[in-house]
Amino acid sequence: MYNSKITGLGYYVPDNVVTNDDLKQWMDTSDEWIQERTGIKERRWIDPKSGDTTAVMGAKASKIAIERAGLTKDDIDFIIFATLSPDMYFPGGGVQIQDMLDMPTIGALDIRNQCSGFIYSLSVADQFIKTGMYKNILVIGSENHSGGLEKSTRGRGVTVIFGDGAGAAVLSRSEEAGKGILSTHLHSEGKHAEELALMGPSTGRWVPEIMEANDPDDVSYYPHMNGQFVFKHAVTRFSEAIVEGLQANNLEKSDIDMLIPHQANLRIAQFIQKKFQLTDDKVYNNIMKYGNTTAASVIIALTEAWEQDKIKENDLVVLAAFGSGFTWGSVVIRW
């Protein structure tokens, strides 16, 4: 059986910076209020005039990752695209990437696991490579949240958190023992699905019906989040997923060289850091400047940490995410 190894990383975020103070034009909020609850100072939102979309951002990040892997688009055997905000209800973003990058008629798979989407995608890619089915897989996480947020005081509890952006990784076959992805661990608990959800549009609640009803109090087509409930479950499941990954590889928490948590809330990341007794140089957070980019958050943070030389050869890198579904998981990597 082969091993899979990350050989290329890339990310892209829109140029348009939206600070906490900028949000005052839409809602009753303040920089202090947002930073105290989330740790976020600013985020990137797509400028509608820029031409950026979920797929376009994914393509831009992918080009960087493929080049850094020392490959061309024709070397990629398969595409996995994770997002909760596709350009179209269907088809998914994977086929758009295949077209935008002018790739051969390779397979394209879309993953709908929201905040844990990139973790799930890496796990799927890892299995395809380990069994010998594919040699080089392009894994993408991309989100356009700003186009679907309720920019008002009523929606501020969700809107202040989310940002736009994309990241990509090339996962390649390796025969080097003990290197690359050591293990992946995935979980879900659907009974809490509506605690963090977008109830419409869906096949049961199409936009024209909502618009025809014209009910100003109908918020089902905006994201809903029970923040305290999500926080409580997140800190528990984050910890469990990390411990599970370590135990599966006979490792201790002291063996972690770099933890890249999903950038949901800085307070969650700080809680996990304290629980695992990790120093600041062993945890990478960038939610302060990008907000929560959902499926893109882990890969953007991983790419930045690597670019800043915070991840070195043979380092033990742990990725972990928790989010809507509820779904959660972890990936243990020997770099």
CA–CA gap between residue 325 and residue 41 (Å, rounded):
27
pLDDT confidence tier of residue 210, bands split at 50, 70 and 90 = low
pLDDT of 225 > 80? The answer is: no
Closest CA to 86 of 141, 44, 128, 33: 141
pLDDT, tens digit, 9 for 90 and up, residues 143-164: 999 988 889 898 888 899 999 9
Which residues are registered as beta bridge partners of 6?
171
pLDDT, tens digit, 9 for 90 and up, residues 227-276: 688 778 888 888 899 999 999 999 999 999 999 999 999 999 999 999 99
Q: What is the pLDDT of residue 211?
A: 56
Q: What is the pLDDT of residue 202?
A: 59
Q: Secondary structure of the chain in the HEC alphabet?
A: CCEEEEEEEEEECCCCEEECHHHHHCCCCCHHHHHHHHCCCEEECCCCCCCCCHHHHHHHHHHHHHHHCCCCHHHCCEEEEECCCCCCCCCCHHHHHHHHCCCCCCEEEEECCHHHHHHHHHHHHHHHHHCCCCCEEEEEEEECCHHHCCCCCCCHHHHCCECCEEEEEEEEEECCCCCEEEEEEEEECHHHHHHEECCCCECCECHHHHHHHCCCCCCCCCCEECHHHHHHHHHHHHHHHHHHHHHHCCCCHHHCCEEEECCCCHHHHHHHHHHCCCCHHHECCCHHHHCECHHHHHHHHHHHHHHCCCCCCCCEEEEEEEECCCEEEEEEEEC
Give the percent of the chain with pLDDT over 70: 91
**CB-based contact 319:22 (threshold 8 Å):** no
Looking at the annotation, which residues are catalytic? 115, 262, 292
The residue written with tokens 């599966």 in the block is 248
* pLDDT (mean) for 113-120: 95
Mean pLDDT (the chain, rounded): 92
Give the torsion sign (CA, 322, 323, 329, 335): negative
pLDDT, tens digit, 9 for 90 and up, residues 306-333: 999 999 999 999 999 998 888 999 999 9
Q: Where in the chain is the domain with CATH 3.40.47.10?
A: 3-176, 181-334
Tokens at 113, concatenated: 């696991």
pLDDT, tens digit, 9 for 90 and up, residues 87-115: 988 899 999 999 999 999 999 999 999 99
* pLDDT (mean) for 44-70: 97
Q: Secondary structure of 6-25 in the HEC alphabet?
A: EEEEEEECCCCEEECHHHHH
Give the predicted TM-score (pTM) of the model: 0.92
pLDDT of 295 > 90? The answer is: yes
CA–CA gap between residue 162 and residue 160 (Å, rounded):
6
pLDDT confidence tier of residue 190, bands split at 50, 70 and 90 = confident
Q: What is the pLDDT of residue 323?
A: 86
Burial degree of 332 (CB within 10 A; 0-12, 13-18, 19+): buried
pLDDT confidence tier of residue 186, bands split at 50, 70 and 90 = very high
CA–CA gap between residue 186 and residue 116 (Å, rounded):
9
The residue written with tokens 């996962």 in the block is 171
Q: What is the pLDDT of residue 253?
A: 95
Closest CA to 187 of 120, 130, 253: 120
Give the percent of the chain with pLDDT over 90: 76
pLDDT of 169 > 90? The answer is: yes
CATH class of residue range 3-176: alpha beta
Q: What is the pLDDT of residue 221?
A: 59
Q: What is the pLDDT of residue 208?
A: 55
CATH topology classification for 181-334: Peroxisomal Thiolase; Chain A, domain 1 (3.40.47)
